[in-house]
């Protein structure tokens, strides 16, 4: 990873994406603990090295984004596609919880 990779993960877009995660979890009745960005040496998609982890009381979900997706979020350029990715992951988590319920803290 390059220093610019860490910069994008601290950008306005990255922070707005984290705020969206919190709002989405609240909307869906799921308590979010934290959403954070992390970097790995060998991401599953080389074109999308930015790793977002959404931790909830029901489990965690991961999303991978490009720098362009994160940078374009505040300008509405990529907002819909980023939100769709996150919503899909959180919906999958909710489906998993319905199949195998755990006590939410």
Q: Which residue has the tokens 């984004």?
A: 65
pLDDT at 105: 42
**pLDDT tens digits along 3-57:** 556 799 999 999 999 999 999 999 999 999 999 999 777 888 888 899 999 999 9
Q: Strand runs (DSSP E) across 1-105, as ranges?
A: 32-38, 50-56, 59-65
Residues paired with 36 in a beta bridge: 53
**pLDDT tens digits along 56-75:** 999 999 999 999 999 999 99
pTM equals 0.88
Task: Enumerate domains of the chain plus CATH numbers.
Answer: 3-99 (3.30.160)
């Amino acid at each position: 990873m390059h220093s610019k990779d860490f910069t994008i993960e601290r950008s306005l877009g990255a922070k707005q994406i984290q705020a969206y995660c919190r709002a989405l979890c609240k909307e869906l009745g799921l308590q979010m603990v934290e959403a954070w960005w992390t970097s790995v040496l060998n991401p599953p998609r080389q074109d999308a090295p930015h790793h977002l982890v959404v931790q909830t009381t029901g489990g965690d979900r991961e999303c991978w984004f490009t720098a362009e997706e994160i940078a374009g979020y505040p300008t509405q350029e990529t907002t819909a596609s980023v939100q769709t990715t996150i919503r899909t992951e959180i919906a999958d988590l909710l489906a998993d919880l319905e199949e195998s319920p755990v006590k939410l803290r």
